[in-house]
């Protein structure tokens, strides 16, 4: 794992977005296309803004998959991750080769089956992810299932996860946060050839230490990234505050 520590979230996002752009260009140059996974949420604001501003990417050769989505949340809701990706990514770019958003309002079994069939024919070149305050990776809250091979699964959100979503201002109260989501599984994320993980802010410092320096295990789901051969972790000074110096 390569760890990059920046001064602030803006600088961190610029660095993560620049690396993502380079990796996408490389994939297109080598194989004629790039299959990517995008996360959402506050951790991705600066990274995504930097990525969509990049010149020289042939977006018609990029195919995008969506990391996770709440079950039952309408597209019009401010917290909808589909809405986030449409407004912050898709609407800011020329048409992609393809994009596959998770419909959290559809039948969950049918939707997972649809997405699983699609992603199995699109080996992922690059995944952009983050780490939750509880150490989750996507919506795989602790204790996460490290063994399930199915690409997209239905998960229950734990209380810490739901409180984080409320604390970030996406919902008017904790009770309004959905309790279930469709999430990409841990094993599917690890199948990505390259992973960029963006972890800003002091509130992520404990999770950052647990997942980067602690033992790999389901109680700290993002700790599994320690095992990936090509993962770059971007932090700012606040989120890296608890890491061992030197």
The pairing of strands 98-100 and 34-38 is: unpaired
* Structure confidence at residue 66 as a pLDDT band (50, 70, 90): very high
- Is residue 195 scored above 60 in pLDDT? yes
Helix 81-88 to helix 45-52 angle, to the nearest 10 degrees? 40
**What is the tens place of the pLDDT at every residue in 114-151?**
999 999 999 999 999 999 999 999 999 999 999 999 99
- Is residue 37 scored above 90 in pLDDT? yes
Predicted local confidence at residue 245, as pLDDT? 65
* Structure confidence at residue 43 as a pLDDT band (50, 70, 90): confident
Query: What residues contact 107, with CB distance under 8 A and at least 6 apart?
Result: none
Q: Which region holds residue 7: left if phi is over 0, alpha if psi is between -120 and 50, else beta?
A: alpha
Residue 69 near residue 182 (C-beta atoms within 8 A): yes
Q: What are phi and psi of 23, to 5 degrees?
A: -70, -35
Predicted local confidence at residue 151, as pLDDT? 98
- Is residue 97 scored above 90 in pLDDT? yes
What average pLDDT score do residues 100-112 get?
97
Q: What's the rounded Cα separation, in Å, for the pair 39 and 180?
A: 17
Residue that the structure tokens 């195919």 belong to: 63
* Structure confidence at residue 200 as a pLDDT band (50, 70, 90): very high
Sorted by where each starts, the structural domains of the chain and their CATH numbers stand as: 2-232 (3.40.50.1360)
- Is residue 204 scored above 70 in pLDDT? yes
Predicted local confidence at residue 41, as pLDDT? 85
**What is the tens place of the pLDDT at every residue in 215-245?**
999 999 999 999 999 999 999 999 999 998 6
Query: What residues contact 226, with CB distance under 8 A and at least 6 apart?
Result: 1, 211, 212, 216
- Helices assigned H by DSSP within 32-146: 45-52, 81-88, 108-119
Q: What's the rounded Cα separation, in Å, for the pair 123 and 116?
A: 12
Query: What residues contact 14, with CB distance under 8 A and at least 6 apart?
Result: 46, 50
**What is the tens place of the pLDDT at every residue in 143-161?**
999 999 999 999 999 999 9
- Is residue 246 scored above 70 in pLDDT? no
The pTM for the full model equals 0.95
């Amino acid at each position: 794992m390569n760890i990059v520590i920046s001064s602030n979230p803006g600088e961190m996002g610029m660095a993560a977005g620049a690396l993502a752009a380079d990796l996408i260009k490389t994939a297109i140059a080598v194989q004629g296309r790039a299959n990517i996974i995008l996360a959402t949420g506050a951790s991705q604001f600066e990274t995504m803004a930097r990525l969509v501003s990049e010149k020289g990417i042939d977006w018609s050769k990029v195919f995008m998959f969506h990391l996770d989505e709440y079950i039952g949340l309408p597209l019009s809701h401010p917290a909808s991750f589909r809405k986030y990706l449409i407004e912050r990514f898709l609407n800011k770019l020329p048409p992609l080769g393809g994009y596959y958003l998770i419909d959290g309002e559809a039948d969950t079994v049918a939707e997972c089956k649809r997405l699983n069939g699609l992603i199995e024919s699109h080996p992922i070149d690059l995944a952009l992810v983050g780490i939750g305050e509880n150490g989750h990776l996507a919506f795989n809250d602790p204790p996460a299932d490290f063994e399930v091979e199915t690409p997209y699964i239905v998960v229950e959100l734990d209380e810490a996860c739901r409180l984080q979503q409320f604390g970030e201002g996406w919902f008017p109260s904790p009770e309004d946060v959905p309790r279930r989501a469709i999430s990409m599984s841990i094993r599917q994320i690890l199948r990505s050839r390259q992973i960029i993980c963006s972890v800003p802010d002091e509130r992520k410092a404990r999770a950052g230490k647990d997942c980067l320096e602690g033992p790999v295990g389901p109680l700290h789901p993002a700790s599994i990234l320690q095992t990936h051969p090509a993962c770059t972790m971007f932090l700012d000074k606040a989120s890296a505050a608890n890491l061992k110096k030197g």
